[in-house]
Structure formats: C-alpha cells, structure tokens
Amino acid sequence: MSQNTAEVSEAEIAVHWQEENYVNPPERFVAQANLTDKTVFDRFSLDNVPDCFKEYANLLHWYRPWDITLDASNPPFWRWFVGGRINASCDPAGHLPGALCARERGRCIVARWLRS
C-alpha cells in the first residue's frame, strides 16, 4: 500500500452513512413540485408500460413523430421513440419562464432575458 492511501474497512465507512435518516423537504419546495397529480401512479403503472411514456413525450416538440415507442427486440440495448426526431437541447430551454424558443429551418434559437 502506498503512503498516500489508507486502508479503511466498510464498517468504518458505514458509520458515516445516514441511509436511515429521512429529511422532509420544506413546504415551499413541495408546493412548487411538478408532480401534483396523484393519478400519475395509476397512469404510469407497470401495466401501462411502454405506452404511458407517450404522455411525457407529447410535451416535447418533435420534428418527426416516432414510429415505435419502445423497441425491446435486442436487450439490453432497448431503443426508445424509434424513428422520432427531436432537438433535446431546444425543448427544455423553450419551456423556461422568460425564454423564447424560435424554430427556424430546423434550428432552435433560444433567447432568455432577466429582469434587472
């Protein structure tokens, strides 16, 4: 063992883990959470996979819609939204408050302004 390395057992490390502690988020954080619809657990149950993911995919701008939601023909190399075309760097920015996302000739131009 080198001089710069100390041997530490897992038990010595484990005393610093706080896996059993749970910290409740502040009410202000909970109030702004995106997931407020309790029916999401039913809509996204294992019985509804993979079609349930179409709901979220439809929130994005697709240049070309997908043909197959999930191609599981070659596990573990699954392919999602096969055939679809999207600019993933554009869509999230276009939904920010105070952001403008213009789609022109297949490009996305994002402008965001801040109040001074």
User: What's phi and psi for 46, nearest 5 deg?
Assistant: -60, -25
For 53-82, what is each residue's pLDDT tens digit? 888 888 777 888 999 999 999 999 999 999
| pTM for the predicted model, two decimal places | 0.48
As given in the structure block, the two tokens for residue 98 are 């105070």
With a cut of 50, list the residues of the chain below it in pLDDT.
93-94, 98, 100, 105, 116
Nearest 10 degrees: CA dihedral of 97, 99, 104, 107? -90
Classified as helix, coil or strand, 28 is helix
* CA 107 to chain centroid: 23
Radius of gyration from C-alpha coordinates of the chain: 22
Element (H, E) at 55: helix 54-57
